[in-house]
Structures are given as structure tokens and as C-alpha cells.
Copies of this chain bind each other. A is one copy, B any other.
Amino acid sequence: MFFASDNSGPVPPQVLTALAEANTGYAMGYGADAEMAEVTARIREIFEAPEAAVFLVATGTAANALALSTLCQPFETIFCTPTAHIHEDECNAPEFYSGGAKLTLVPGAPGFDDKMTPEALRATIAKEETRGVHGPQRGPVSVTQVSERGTIYSLTELQALAAVTKEFDLPLHMDGARFANAMVALDCTPADMTWKVGVDAVSFGGTKNGLLGVEAVIFFDPKHAWEFELRRKRGGHLFSKHRYLSAQMLAYLTDDLWRDNAVKANDNCAYLAQGLRRTKAPFLHEPQANMIFAALPRATHQRLFDAGAAYHLWDGPLDGDPQEQVAARFVCDWAIEKQQIDQFLALITQPE
């Protein structure tokens, strides 16, 4: 009954097999491995972006901080929502990598979904840089798809945000730690969700969707390539035995493993959601990908924890008395078994 995160479960056997297959003979290091050439070709194909620059790193924080620092000057500010991973969960990595850029928070829409709206983005951008040399200059905009609240920007919503960034001539970055979960939910192509709507760079997540620890950073304009390489090395994120990153990413992109995993995770979540609907655990908003935010009676929460269920409590709006309720986040990964979900639902629906 593990719903704490999608970075805690096992990886599919294909990934370990790929590591074993890559483990023969000698290979050029530092990204010059033959597998990486294949990764680049495959990602360019999948994203319909024959010029794209593609790099692998091992963590999402590295992917985001390195991508943003390549797009940002130290005297600029990065626009994101108050719940963005880059703001809340990276211990100042974007500030560090950018050499001290600021993060300016774009207020989320009313309600709990906390997605960035074009109106709020435009208003926030407009307000910055009204002070000439005194305030930070406008820098990149970063959106998170799937958002940290489990919601998904529609293609239209992304287009509207990108229109604002173009208006101010700012680069648009997508933190796609759960890229695949969003894409299969939207039933669109990688290109649809990125450059076709105006995204300039994407952190294309693998770790939360079945890899040991690999994320791709993709720039649709290859002019950023060399600077990114230098920043990656200087950050200590260039692997000597790079082929083991490449092999994972290749396995991920082979036979639709990445899509299948995302479909499984979303389906598991939908199954859990269906069950939860029959309980005293009202959703804080409608689940869209592989995450559910729900209110739980404290007594129920206690019983679940005692029974070994794992999930995080969250800071969320509760209709009822916070003494009697908690807000909880449930995340499903590709591997969670239906039986575990059933066991959890049985526990939660059990009368107090």
C-alpha cells in the first residue's frame, strides 16, 4: 500500500536487461557512447525535432537547474508557481546554478489545482522590470506538466501561456518529471505538448516513470548545446560511464515502455480514485494523472498508517474541521498492484 511517491517503486525488467546488455566491452565515456547517439536519434524522432539538442542527467533537480541556468542570466528572474518543484523542493538549486537568479511566483488560479493562468503570468511578468536596473530582469517561464498538484495543462492552456512568453520574448521551460503521465492523459504527441505549443526546453522525466535515475534535457534550438554541456560538466553531472544512462533511456523509449508505464500509473490511479469516491474522502480536486489529493478523517488516517499504508500529508484546503481531517496525497506508480489498492480501499471503507 505504497502511495507516497512514484519514485519509490521498482523499475521494469527491461531496464535491468538493458543495463546488462550495455555491460560488455569498452565504450567511450562522457556521452560519446554509441547508445547515446541512438538516444538522441530516437528522441529527435519521437519529438519530431531533427535539430534538437539532447542530454542525459541522473536527477530531476539537475535537469531543471541546468536547463534553466542555460536559459537565464544571474540578474534575471524565473517565473513559476508557488508549488513548483524548482521553488519548493530543490533546496535553491535553480538559484545556485543560475548564479543567483530569483524565482518570481505567479499566483496559482483560485482553487487547489495551482496551475498558472495566462492572465496571472502576464500580470506578474508585466509587474517585474518596471524598475529598470533596480529589479531583476525578466527571465524564463517554467511550467510543470503534470503539475505538483496532479493537474494537467491542456494543449490550449499551454498555448495560451506560451503566447504570453512570446509576447515578452521569454523562453519557456517545461518541468516534465511526469511528462509521460500528462501526455498519455492528453492523448497527444510529444511534439504537440512541447515545441508545437511553444516550449523551448523540456526536462523529460524518466525516473518517476520506471528508470533508476535518468532524465533527458531537450533544447529545441540546438544553439544552447555547448553551453549546456559545459554547465553539466561543471555541475558534476556528466557521467564517465555514460552508457549506463543511455541504455536506460533507450530501454525506456523502446517498444513504448515509457507510454505503457505512464498508462499503467494513470490507470492505477483511476482505479484508486474510483474506489475512493465511494468513501468519506472527498477529493480536493478531480484527479487527472497519477496523483490524488483527498481529505481524510483523522481516525481513518490513523488506521491506515497503523496498517502500514504509506502516503504524504499535504498542506491543502479542508472544508471541515482540521482537527478532524487531514489532506493527503496519494501517488500511484506503474508497478503498484491492484491487490494493494484493493486492500487499501478495504481499509479505508471499513467503518470506524
Contacts and interface: CB of A to CB of B under 8 A. Distances in A.
A316 to B, nearest CB: 13
A319 to B, nearest CB: 21
Interface string A207-241: 11000110000000000000101110111111111
A62 B237 contact: yes
A16 interface: yes
A204 to B, nearest CB: 16
A176 interface: no
B28 A59 contact: no
B5 A16 contact: no
Contact of A213 (B20, B27, B239): B239
A218 B57 CA distance: 24
A10 B21 CA distance: 10
A235 B236 contact: yes
A276 interface: no
Interface stretch (A86-94, A189-197, A263-271): A86-94
A5 B29 contact: yes
A175 interface: no
B20 A16 contact: yes
Interface string A100-144: 111101000000000000000000000100110111110000000
Contacts of A170: none
A90 B133 contact: no
Interface string A46-75: 000000000001111111011000000111
Main secondary structure of the interface of A (DSSP, over half): loop
Nearest to A75: B230
Contacts of A231: 75
A99 B96 contact: yes
Q: What copy number does this chain have within its complex? A: 4
A28 B5 CA distance: 9
A244 B96 CA distance: 26
Contacts of A11: 23, 241
Interface string A6-19: 01111100001001
A200 interface: no
A91 B59 contact: no
A24 interface: yes
Given A5-B240, A99-B96, A315-B127, A90 B10 contact: no
Nearest to A8: B26
A102 B92 contact: yes
A2 interface: yes
A90 B9 CA distance: 33
Given A58-B239, A91-B230, 10 more contacts: A9-B26, A16-B19, A61-B236, A74-B96, A74-B234, A95-B95, A133-B233, A213-B239, A213-B244, A235-B236
